[in-house]
Amino acid sequence: MKKIMKYNAILALTLLSLSCSKFDEMSKNPYALETAPAESYVHPIMFKTQYNLISVFRGTTVFLSQYAVMTNSEVSSRVIGNYNIPEGTSDDIWTGLYLQYGNAMAMYEQAVKEKNDKIKAVAMILRSFLILQLTDTYGDIPFKEAGLLSLREGDGKYTTRYDSQKEIYKSVVCMLESANLLLSQDVEEVPSFNAICDKTYGGNYEQWRRFGNSLYARVLMRIGMKVIEEDGGILELGDEQWVSVNVTNKLSELYSCFLSGAGDYPMMRSREDRPMIPFSDQNETEHTPFYSTTSGNWNVVAVCDVLTRRMLSTVQKVDQNGITYYESVLHTQGGHREDPRYDCWWRKVHGMPNQMIGSDVTKFLATHLSSAGNSVIGRMTYGRNAGSGITGKVYDLQNASYYPLMQYSELLFIFAEAGVRGWISSISSFGAYLPLFRQAVTESILEWNPYVTAESDEVVEYVNWVVNGELYSGSTFNSDNALEGVLTQKWISSFFIGIESWCDYRRTGYPLLRTDGPAAGNDHILPTRMRYPSDEPYRNTVYYKEAVDGWLGGTNNIQTDVWWAATQESRDIRLLGRQ
Amino acid sequence: MKKLLTLLSVVLGLSIALNAQNTFSLNIDSTDARLSDVLDSFTAQTGVTFSFERSLGDVVLPKVHVSLSNAPLERLLSEVLAGSGIEWKVSGMTVALSGAKVNSPAAQKQWVGTVVDSEGNPLPGVAVFVAGAISSGSITNDQGIFNIKASPEDDIQFSCLGYESRSIKASSSQLKRVVLKDEAEVLQTAVVTALGIKRDEKSIGYSAQKVEGDMFVNSATTGNWINGMAGQVAGLNIDRSSSPDGTMRVTVRGESSADLENNTALFVVDGVPMYNSATQSDTGEGSIYAIDYGNGLADIDPNNIESVTVLKGAAATALYGSQAANGAIIITTKNAESQDAVFRVSIKSSFAADKVLASPDLQYTYGQGTAGLPYYYYLVSGEGDDVAGINPRPDYVSTSGMESWGPKLDGTPYYQYYNVAEGIGGHVNQYGDFVRDATPFVSYGDWFQNYFQTGLNFSNSIVMSGKIGKDNSVRVSFTNNTVNGIVPNSPSMTNFLAVRTTSRLAKWLKMETSVNYRNTRKDNIPVSSGYGSTAIMYSLWCYAPNIDMKWPSFYWKDKEAVQQDASLSGGKNNAYFLAYEGINNQKRDRVYGNVVFNADLAKGLTLMARGGLDIITDFRTQRQATSTQAKPQGWYREQTIGSKQYSGDFLLKYNTRFAGDFEFTGNIGGSIIWRSYSNHSQTAGALNIPGVYSLVNTSYEPKTANSSYVRQTNSLYGMLSLSWKNAIFLDVTGRNDWSSTLPAGHRSFFYPSVSGSISLNDLFEFGRTNGLVNLMKIRASWAQVGNDTAPYRVANYLQGTGFPGTVALPATRVNSNLRPEIVSSWEVGLELRMFKNRFTLDAAYYDAVTKDLISQMPVSYANGVNYMYVNAGSIRNRGVELSATGTLVKTRDLQWKVGLNYTMNRNTVVSLGEGIDSWIIASYSTHAYMIAYEGGSLTSMYGKGYVRAPEGSTAITAEGKMVDVSGLPVLDNQNLYQTGTELQYLGDCAPDWKGGFNTTLKWKDLSLYIGFDGQVGGHVYSYTNWVLNYRGKGTATLEGREGGLVPVGVRLLPDGNYVVNTTAIDPANIATFYHNKYEQTNGEANFVSTQFLKLREVRLEYSLPKKLLAKTKVLSGASFSVYGNNIWCWSDFPGFDPEGVTMRGSAVIPGFEILQMPSTAQFGGSISLTF
């Protein structure tokens, strides 16, 4: 019986330990935080966004915008440069940036909780930037219901309704206005936030404000043509605080603030103000997306002659296979012109025609060899110690130490275009916008080439050539072709900037791009948008169908113009490029 | 936790208290000595005094050999008095002896008798021994006659392989003629069910299938005992990672949850649930593929398996609760309790060789290079710069690469691979300079098989087992497996040590212990399969028949060993470089075991109490040499993974008979399982000095990553069993769990089961008397099983990002409202045994519906997360299982048995949750998806297909005839196949049915076993198929390389009409043609059948006859066997093995074959000796 008592003791102990008091403690993850200050979200969002955008540039935009051609031995007719966009190509923007949008929403909600208006304003700028990239890529997308699941309890709502691009732009304008207002208050009292959380501006609110307002200028330029055509230039915002915005007036106001350095909308005033994201091969966290790309894979991207013709002096030739191409005359003739950025981007100088069929690509590569048996076609610069092709200057595009999210030169190009279009009256004459144009080109050069200054001969010479050479519709830069001139140079300057050049093309039709080469697909239309991701129909069935059956007319196609690109002017100019 | 420890210490402490009395040293060595003399010596050495009747002192002890130090008194007494029949009682330092049965030598007699089988034939070679005696017993002679010395009260035991063992009192009249029944006639009645409860098979109302330990005898050399289960059990499915010694995924009765990782069966070893999941070590390149370290299943030594019981349905596993929702596999290990001799030693040695089973249909006609170019040159594009000076002819372009569209392998001289140091591809001229030569462009044969080597497996084991007195037994086994894998430089070694003891501590108390230790040392685990740059198969698929595989084996480009030579693999990592420099090693130790006490508390009342522990430490290092594709500056990681599991459980059982024919059994039990896990790693992301692998040798601060969890489940459960006339049985169970992984409000959950069976032949006369029907049982059950989830899915948290001071959201949303998931199922079954058990049949039909599954549901990224944990969906599995055995021939010398089993499972997605009609279960990039639709099966595969002419399309032929072209592929303006943009249904990855067939033929002491198994239906999306055809490696790509080909299909004219294609593809464009035909995003083009039939095993075994053994005096068993595993596979599958799936992250995901490793055929032999 004694023994039975002993076992009963065990039984009792077992029952006792069934009480679950320790379970609460046990259910906490020791390697995670429950909350963190709003500012601690900033750098990861910035870094991952830029990581995503530069890989999208090198993987997609570089071919879409005809900077480069794909040359590898696996080349098939289904390459982006032929507009036969393989399914899944564009999914990364959606999957990558929406996750960051979720973080930006969490940051925003945390800032609201902290009652910190300034960090809330930074969150609004980040949200604006992210949602713009997304809508510019896909068109109508979830916005009002986006990013909510990341912060709210699972209440059964995990499908997200799509909003029209116009609605999204209206909200973005309100957000950017509000962010500017919130950041204008008590600047002296709260000069910055924790610099460790912000490797871009070191927590400097003033620079965030300038970035936000410069982004505002991008927004206004993006929608300007559409709003003027559709609503006479007035965008009704339908917001209690922000009722409507007159696009051209607002751009004029931004320009005068830019000029004076004063006013309600502080703008970026120099390259120092542009958002730049540091990368490093000295830290695994900060590697570029290309860190481990082998030279073989890196080199499958060859410079396209559409670009070399605008950056270098070239002559038109026909090779033994009957393929027309433009050969750089750089090394063979005196008085050549060379873009000082070219060295930083490309090794070797010859460009390749685009939209060739696969067997022609092989033949072309085999034909264009140097006497040493090596290809003379330009490839992107890479490698920490590799000298680049022409002048031996070192530039490593593969592992650069920073990439700008938005350039200072872009702001200058925006104002120059607004001047050309007559939207800003003070710079609507040729004489007034020409210096702005020159400055924009120069600033872009200085962004990329660390070996020159604005006064260097090669810079001055090149900028003169840009203005006086017969680069635009076969003539020098003048008031008739100024729009083409400004946008062609803006296209060059948008190299490595996410999807910006593709947006400008869809908006304006410039630069004039060929879309009907022998291998061109997609009914000879340069894709007007990217397809929604292939798994979205399964993740968000009802609203996906609503969007596809709605504005897309039934198929997830890449030929429907997004809202701001659907203007007659843009369509007409895009058609010009097809000849 | 504290409470748990307290409990453990009580359980463990008890065992210590019973043993840790005063200890003594004793040394006595005597033969035929009087007891009083022996005890005098005992007292002199220990101070212990004895009291006994005078007559007892005259008892002669035949042999006393004791040499012990620091042993407890009980132990000494049992040693000294063993076999004497004298009982003792200890009281302080005095021992009272009682000799009720005086066993003087005079009382011992010679007993003689004959052993016969049930037909009256004498049985030679039967072991005959006195239970508990030290003497070694005897063996029956040719006439079945035995002669043994024993006292009349002794139990004499008879045992013989293939026959039921018996025990008969020496004085019994039955001893004259002992009848041993053939095992086949004896019902294999005892089945180990949930919680280790042994039940009469006839009494259970659910399906439980047993596999005997001898099925695993060859598994020692196959790396995992589970290989022995293949084709043996209806309803069981094994998915193998194709990596050698890799992860095994075992499912029972289909996929029950949308979370594929959650569908695997629970493994229970000697009553304690075993921690099994794999820990992933990615390669720093994402988790599409990973190094496969295997999962915990391999931690069981196949030599120790007594039997395995598969509990399939929910009713069978309801008492195991959480994690047994998908079936349980109960492993019983061997102990020495029932062995037929006091002491046995057995030794077993096996050796086996592995060869690649088969290669895909590779072409050996064309070499590496680009279609349409008449020359060959081995450098990769972009690398030409570096050797410009050496290039012998200016018009050579870089045309190699990973594809094989190059020139014909017809012996035309080309400048090919050269290596100055090895003198390959050139000669040294008179000035001492190396000059390249053009050499014939020829095929060097099967480049795959030339890379792999013959794998060698050695397995040696020794088992020692003994009985100490009547009441104690010990079994110790040690096994060493040494393996040299088929991938170069991949040796590994495993040691198993297992100790099992049983002891009766008191008349009412029995203790069993089990301790297992496994030590693994793998010197290199190559990343074998998967589409990622450090995987062997990824590299290997870049080679071609024009390469002598000796060439890439010189894998350094420079003398300094800094830069690899990746030129022959088109710039991808050199496969030898990966094997010899990308070393991943592992040192792993696991100890698991338990102590069980069984106490008879009162008549019919027993208590079982058990404590178990399971501790794993795992240290891994991973190297990537400088110049590795993904890690150009080199890379090194150290990772320490630890896990601990403590468990304690008890079961109180009461059994009684009442009202004559009724029997009642009640069980009440409870358990606690506490588990912790931690994973810490440090990574040097760039090496300062190439080739030195140390966390100190890093260019920047090593990166650390840590994770850990603690979880606990407490449970209380009960079972009531009622039976009538031992013919009608009814069980009711209930279990309540409390889990730390669920939110506070849903931590406690209850689930019941009911099952019953009726043994018809016990109720009605079916010809039992004439042996026609030995058993006819029908059974039925209904049950629910609850299941909790993984830790940390219920509270929101933020992650670190790698940037100091910053945070980010995890990509999966947690859910604080998670409820436990409940599986409900019912099943009916029939069991039939006829013709003296020569024919058996077991049939089952089941229908299981899982509801409220906890799943990681894919949600639109627009939510800011891409997954969310939810309770959603309902999935139904229905199926039929049949297994049958028959003894077709049975004579004294010849026996022929066959076994068959059949499994058919149908899976239906009943619902997916509010407003959701589809769900991506798994996917591979955008190439192929496993998507569940309501009404479809969970394992339905979807992908894009060829653009085809819609139904009703017509075309006008050249002859002017109108033909129907519906469904023909539509070619584009370049005459190429096009891939559509919409997903379409491709097929199911689960088979229609699976089956196994085995046969055993025995002739005297020779036996032959042959096992087949296979499946009908089943498909996967195959990357191997893609790479074979896209890269021109397979024979399917030979057509059209010379002269072109006319693609079958139609073209759409601008006016909307179709025209049948008659235009040929230019041979120069043939690569583009095949690229489009087999585009990787074209799921249809790369969706292949996995239907197969395999010759799984052939084993020929010879056991030395007992007669011969008896003559040796020392040997009691000797057998020799030769065997082959995985010998042949009949299948249309284009890759290596239709069963091979790929490890992704920490799980094996069915439905996608991503560059699998070749599977191997194994041939070996073993010798086993027992003394």
Q: Which residues of B touch A148 (CB under 8 A)?
A: 863-864
The one-letter amino acid code at B1029 reads N
Nearest beta carbon to residue A359 from set B648, B708, B1069:
B1069
Residue A452 near residue A340 (C-beta atoms within 8 A): yes
Nearest beta carbon to residue B383 from set A296, A366, A519:
A296
Across the interface, whether the CB atoms of B791 and A29 are under 8 A apart is answered yes
Computed on alpha carbons and rounded to an integer, the radius of gyration of chain B in Å comes to 34
Nearest beta carbon to residue A32 from set B566, B740, B797:
B797
Nearest beta carbon to residue A44 from set B7, B599, B801:
B801
Of all residues in chain B, what percent carry a pLDDT higher than 90? 35
Of residues B874 and B190, more confidently modeled: B874
Nearest residue in A to B919, CA atom: A538
Q: What is the pLDDT of residue A381?
A: 83
Across the interface, whether the CB atoms of A77 and B802 are under 8 A apart is answered no
What tens digit of pLDDT does each residue of B146-180 get?
888 777 777 788 877 667 778 888 777 778 888 88
Cα(B1010)–Cα(A450) distance, rounded to whole angstroms? 75
Nearest beta carbon to residue A76 from set B808, B862, B1076:
B1076
Cα(B1011)–Cα(B910) distance, rounded to whole angstroms? 37
Nearest beta carbon to residue B864 from set A11, A101, A534:
A101
Q: Token pair of B243, please? A: 């990596």
What tens digit of pLDDT does each residue of B805-824 get?
899 998 888 888 889 888 88
Q: State how far residue A55 is from chain B, nearest Cα, in angstroms.
A: 16
Cα(B439)–Cα(B414) distance, rounded to whole angstroms? 5
Q: Which residues of A touch B599 (CB under 8 A)?
A: 3, 7
Q: What is the pLDDT of residue A532?
A: 95
Cα(B49)–Cα(B372) distance, rounded to whole angstroms? 102
Q: State how far residue B1132 is from chain A, nearest Cα, in angstroms.
A: 27
Cα(A486)–Cα(A507) distance, rounded to whole angstroms? 14
| pLDDT at B202 > cutoff 50 | yes
Q: Which residues of A touch B797 (CB under 8 A)?
A: 29, 32-34
Q: State how far residue B463 is from chain A, nearest Cα, in angstroms.
A: 35
Nearest residue in B to A294, CA atom: B629
Cα(B638)–Cα(B492) distance, rounded to whole angstroms? 19
A335 CB contacts (<8 Å, ≥6 apart)? none
Per-residue pLDDT of chain A (579 residues; tens, 9 = 90+): 445 445 544 554 554 454 456 888 888 888 888 889 999 999 999 999 999 999 999 999 999 999 999 886 555 556 888 888 877 788 899 999 999 999 999 999 999 999 999 999 999 999 999 999 999 999 999 999 999 886 666 556 778 999 999 999 999 999 999 999 999 876 565 568 899 999 999 999 999 999 999 999 999 999 999 999 999 999 999 888 999 999 999 999 999 999 998 899 999 999 999 999 999 988 888 999 998 887 777 878 889 999 998 898 888 889 888 888 888 876 444 455 688 898 889 888 888 999 888 778 877 877 776 655 567 788 888 765 444 445 556 678 888 899 999 999 999 999 999 999 999 999 999 999 999 999 999 999 999 988 889 998 889 988 998 998 888 878 889 999 999 999 999 999 999 999 999 999 999 999 999 898 888 888 889 999 999 998 898 889 889 999 999 999 999 999 999 999 999 999 999 988 765
Nearest beta carbon to residue B816 from set A29, A153, A374:
A153
Of residues B558 and B946, more confidently modeled: B946
B119 touches chain A (CB under 8 A): no
Q: What is the pLDDT of residue B285?
A: 58
B11 touches chain A (CB under 8 A): yes
Using 50, 70 and 90 to split pLDDT, how confident is the model at B186? low
Q: How far apart are the first and last CA of chain B?
A: 47
B587 touches chain A (CB under 8 A): no
Query: Three-state SS across B7-44?
Result: HHHHHHHHHHHHHCCCEEEEEEEEEEEEHHHHHHHHHH
DSSP helix/strand/coil, B1164: strand
Q: Which residue has the tokens 């923007």?
A: A93
**What is the helix (H) or strand (E) element at residue A96, kind and residue range?**
helix A91-114
B862 touches chain A (CB under 8 A): yes
Cα angle value B309/B312/B314 (rounded, 5°) = 130
Nearest residue in B to A361, CA atom: B1069
DSSP helix/strand/coil, B490: coil
What tens digit of pLDDT does each residue of B1037-1092 get?
999 998 889 999 998 888 888 999 989 988 888 888 998 899 888 999 999 999 99
Q: Which residues of A touch B714 (CB under 8 A)?
A: 17-18, 20
For an interface test with A, the pick among B3, B5, B18, B381 (most A C-beta atoms closer than 10 Å) comes out as B381
Q: Is B500 left (phi over 0), alpha (psi -120 to 50) or beta?
A: beta
B138-139, strands of its sheet edge to edge: B138-139, B127-130, B155-159, B166-169
Residue A102 near residue A145 (C-beta atoms within 8 A): no
Residue B159 near residue B127 (C-beta atoms within 8 A): yes
Q: Token pair of B1140, please? A: 């091979």
B258 touches chain A (CB under 8 A): no
Nearest beta carbon to residue B808 from set A41, A87, A297:
A41
DSSP helix/strand/coil, B1012: strand
Across the interface, whether the CB atoms of B972 and A373 are under 8 A apart is answered no
Residue B463 near residue B349 (C-beta atoms within 8 A): no
Q: Token pair of B411, please? A: 């012996």
Q: State how far residue A390 is from chain B, nearest Cα, in angstroms.
A: 15
Nearest beta carbon to residue A28 from set B748, B795, B944:
B795
- Pick the closest to residue A369 from A350, A341, A355 (CA basis): A350
Give the pLDDT mean for B336-359: 85
Across the interface, whether the CB atoms of B809 and A150 are under 8 A apart is answered yes
Residue B21 near residue B72 (C-beta atoms within 8 A): yes
B9 touches chain A (CB under 8 A): no
Q: Which residues of B touch A12 (CB under 8 A)?
A: none
Q: What is the pLDDT of residue B16?
A: 37
Q: Which residues of A touch B929 (CB under 8 A)?
A: 535, 538
Exposed / middle / buried, residue B699 (Cβ in 10 Å: 0-12, 13-18, 19+): middle
Ranking A257-266, B195-204, B1025-1034 by mean pLDDT, the lowest is B195-204
Q: What is the pLDDT of residue B22?
A: 67
Q: What is the pLDDT of residue A501?
A: 97
A217 DSSP assignment: H
Q: Counting one residue from A and one from B, how many pairs have CB atoms under 8 Å apart?
A: 351
Cα(B871)–Cα(B912) distance, rounded to whole angstroms? 10
Q: Which residues of B775-793 are buried (b: 16+ CB within 10 A; e: fewer)?
A: bbbbbbbbbbbbbbbebbb
Q: Which residues of B touch A531 (CB under 8 A)?
A: 981
Q: Which residues 1063-1092 of chain B have a CB within 8 Å of chain A?
A: 1066, 1068-1069, 1071-1072, 1075-1076, 1079, 1081
- Pick the closest to residue A79 from B548, B1076, B233, B647 (CA basis): B1076
Q: Token pair of B76, please? A: 């000494």
Cα angle value B1102/B1105/B1109 (rounded, 5°) = 115
Cα(B300)–Cα(B248) distance, rounded to whole angstroms? 13
Ranking B254-263, B426-435, B580-589 by mean pLDDT, the lowest is B254-263
What tens digit of pLDDT does each residue of B853-891 get?
888 888 899 999 988 888 888 889 899 999 999 999 988
For an interface test with A, the pick among B375, B710, B806 (most A C-beta atoms closer than 10 Å) comes out as B806
B984 touches chain A (CB under 8 A): no
Ranking A445-454, B61-70, B241-250, B630-639 by mean pLDDT, the lowest is B241-250
Across the interface, whether the CB atoms of A36 and B798 are under 8 A apart is answered yes
Q: Which residues of B touch A534 (CB under 8 A)?
A: 926, 983
Strands B584-602 and B248-252 turn out to be unpaired
Neighbours of A422 (CB within 10 A): 12
When mean pLDDT is compared over A285-299, B37-51, B222-236, B1122-1136, the highest value belongs to B1122-1136
Q: Which residues 688-717 of chain B have a CB within 8 Å of chain A?
A: 699-701, 703, 706-712, 714, 716
Using 50, 70 and 90 to split pLDDT, how confident is the model at B639? very high
Residues in chain A: 579
B121 CB contacts (<8 Å, ≥6 apart)? B144, B892
Across the interface, whether the CB atoms of A296 and B570 are under 8 A apart is answered yes
Residue A522 near residue A130 (C-beta atoms within 8 A): no
Q: What is the pLDDT of residue A463?
A: 92
Nearest beta carbon to residue A103 from set B609, B633, B809:
B809
Neighbours of B893 (CB within 10 A): 9
Q: Which residues of B touch A86 (CB under 8 A)?
A: 1079, 1081
Strands (E), A320-423: 324-328, 346-347, 379-380, 402-404
- Four-point Cα dihedral B1051, B1053, B1058, B1059, nearest 10: -60
- Look over chain B and give the mean of its residue pLDDT values, rounded to a whole number: 83
Q: Is A163 left (phi over 0), alpha (psi -120 to 50) or beta?
A: beta
- Pick the closest to residue B292 from B923, B930, B1160, B1156 (CA basis): B1156
DSSP helix/strand/coil, A238: coil
Exposed / middle / buried, residue B417 (Cβ in 10 Å: 0-12, 13-18, 19+): buried
Across the interface, whether the CB atoms of B809 and A42 are under 8 A apart is answered no
Cα angle value B628/B632/B635 (rounded, 5°) = 75
The one-letter amino acid code at B446 reads D
Of all residues in chain B, what percent carry a pLDDT higher than 70? 89
Cis geometry, peptide bond prior to residue B743 (ω within 30 degrees of 0): no
Cα(B568)–Cα(B378) distance, rounded to whole angstroms? 7
Q: Token pair of B216, please? A: 């695993």
Cα(B463)–Cα(B1170) distance, rounded to whole angstroms? 9
Of residues B324 and A193, more confidently modeled: A193
**What is the helix (H) or strand (E) element at residue B835, kind and residue range?**
none
Strands (E), A81-221: 141-142, 162-163
Nearest residue in B to A558, CA atom: B981
Across the interface, whether the CB atoms of B712 and A26 are under 8 A apart is answered yes
- Pick the closest to residue B1089 from B1045, B1033, B1153 (CA basis): B1153
